[in-house]
């Protein structure tokens, strides 16, 4: 079983890739993070020295309850603060068995799992370096973007559209397995309703199948020793070979099943040409319904009403932005040239949208 040397990253100075067994950062001398997560880079060194292999299997490191310093299992006093080792109060790092897809291969994954704020902050790193390291550039960007300035943006274009569905009562011809009571000019005939599959015999055929012929030992995971080392974990993996086998395949015949089907005439309400009205101002109206429709209720009727209201504003950067208005009353309050309250980012100057909830 191969032993590999893991790595860890320093929270205090940002040094990346400290060797796993090192209990202090080789750059600034700070102890490992209390809840350090070791990671295993792809080019991790395989340990061949017998003494180092013995150290890797000695046991997990322990964390001082007084200063959170890390120490080797055989240390009787803390290498950071000199406090005596306490079996009751001091805790050992966790030994974990990980599947291959669970093994972290970079420090970013390990750092993200820890919620610890380092006790020893290098003042030379500076305030902003600490803020960026703890909060992340993403959080800083969002915070800066939240500062807004109110601006006026003019309405430069409007468009509305209203539609009324028209239905016409028309006679159509249909075919169905069941006959509606209002059907006329009925014809009946025999048609294939479905097919029944019957087995009439068998024939010998061959096919390729995967046959298990043995097993092999493969690395399927890593054991995080809790001291900066990782040890290969092995599993038995089956070995398959492709072989030909004969089998009896059923022979099917499909038998059509006939049922009575009906062809008939029937009246249905069917969509006709819809009535449309549109405009590019605030004077909204519904399309007029022709007398041909209103005077023939048995032949025509109106159905669903659809309405759409859009307008565009020009931002402080001369960009046109489209908005959708849900109701006509709000749309009627607009007109080309009207100025609306909007927001832009104070720091970045980015247009953020209208302030009114009616146009979100």
pLDDT reported for residue 132: 45
- The encoded tokens of residue 318 equal 């001369």
pLDDT one-digit tens code per residue, 246-270? 999 999 999 999 999 999 999 999 9
pLDDT reported for residue 359: 75
Q: Determine which of 119-123, 192-196, 232-236 has the lowest per-residue pLDDT on average.
A: 119-123
Q: Is the pTM of this model over 0.75?
A: no
Mean pLDDT, residues 348-352 taken together: 91
Residue with tokens 């208005």: 325
Q: Is the pLDDT of residue 347 over 60?
A: yes
- The encoded tokens of residue 125 equal 């790193």
pLDDT one-digit tens code per residue, 68-91? 999 999 999 999 999 999 888 899
Cα 122 to chain centroid, rounded: 38
Read off φ and ψ for residue 198, nearest 5 degrees: -120, 140
Burial classification of residue 63, based on how many CB atoms lie within 10 Å of its CB (0-12 exposed, 13-18 middle, 19 or more buried): buried
Q: Which letter does DSSP use for residue 335 in this model?
A: -
Distance in angstroms (rounded) separating the CA atoms of residues 232 and 303: 71
Q: Determine which of 130-144, 167-181, 319-333 has the lowest per-residue pLDDT on average.
A: 130-144
Looking at 96-183, which runs of residues are DSSP E strands?
Answer: 96-99, 148-176
- What share of the chain has pLDDT > 70, as a percent? 90
Distance in angstroms (rounded) separating the CA atoms of residues 129 and 14: 10
Distance in angstroms (rounded) separating the CA atoms of residues 342 and 322: 13
pLDDT one-digit tens code per residue, 1-57? 799 999 999 988 889 999 999 999 999 999 999 889 999 998 898 999 999 999 999
CB atoms within 10 A of CB 111: 21
Distance set, CA 245 to CA 209, 238, 249 (Å): 7, 20, 12
pLDDT one-digit tens code per residue, 98-132? 999 999 988 754 443 333 434 443 443 444 444 44
Better pLDDT: 140 or 102: 102
pLDDT reported for residue 339: 95
Confidence label for 145 from pLDDT (cuts 50, 70 and 90)? low
Distance in angstroms (rounded) separating the CA atoms of residues 57 and 293: 91
pLDDT one-digit tens code per residue, 200-209? 999 999 999 9
């Amino acid at each position: 079983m191969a032993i590999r040397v893991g790595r860890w990253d320093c929270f205090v100075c940002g040094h990346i890739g400290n060797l796993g067994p090192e209990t202090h950062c080789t750059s600034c001398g700070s102890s490992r993070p209390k809840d350090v997560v070791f990671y295993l880079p792809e080019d991790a060194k395989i340990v061949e020295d017998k003494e180092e292999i013995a150290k890797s299997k000695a046991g997990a490191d322990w964390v001082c309850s007084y200063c959170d310093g890390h120490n080797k299992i055989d240390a009787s006093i803390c290498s950071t603060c000199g406090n005596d080792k306490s079996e009751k109060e001091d805790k050992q790092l966790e030994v974990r068995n990980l599947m291959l897809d669970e093994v972290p291969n970079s420090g970013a994954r390990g750092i993200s799992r820890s919620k610890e704020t380092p006790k020893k902050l290098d003042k030379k790193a500076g305030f902003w370096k600490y803020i960026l390291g703890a909060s992340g550039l993403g959080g800083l960007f969002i915070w800066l973007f939240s500062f807004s300035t109110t601006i006026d943006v003019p309405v430069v274009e409007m468009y509305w559209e209203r539609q009324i569905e028209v239905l016409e009562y028309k006679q159509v011809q249909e075919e169905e397995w069941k006959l509606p009571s209002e059907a006329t000019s009925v014809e009946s005939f025999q048609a294939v309703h479905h097919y029944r599959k019957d087995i009439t015999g068998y024939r010998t055929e061959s096919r390729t199948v995967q046959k298990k012929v043995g097993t092999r030992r493969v690395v399927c995971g890593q054991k995080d020793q809790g001291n900066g080392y990782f040890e290969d974990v092995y599993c038995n993996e089956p070995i398959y070979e492709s072989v030909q086998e004969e089998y009896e395949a059923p022979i099917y015949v499909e038998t059509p099943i006939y049922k009575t089907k009906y062809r008939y005439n029937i009246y249905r309400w069917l969509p006709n040409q819809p009535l449309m009205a549109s405009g590019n101002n605030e004077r909204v109206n519904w399309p007029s319904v022709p007398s041909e429709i209103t005077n023939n209720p048995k032949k025509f009727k109106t159905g669903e009403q659809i309405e759409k209201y859009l307008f565009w504003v020009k931002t402080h950067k001369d960009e046109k932005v489209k908005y959708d208005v849900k109701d006509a009353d709000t749309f009627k309050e607009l007109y080309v040239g009207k100025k609306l309250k909007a927001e832009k980012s104070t720091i970045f100057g980015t247009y953020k949208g209208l302030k009114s909830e009616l146009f979100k």
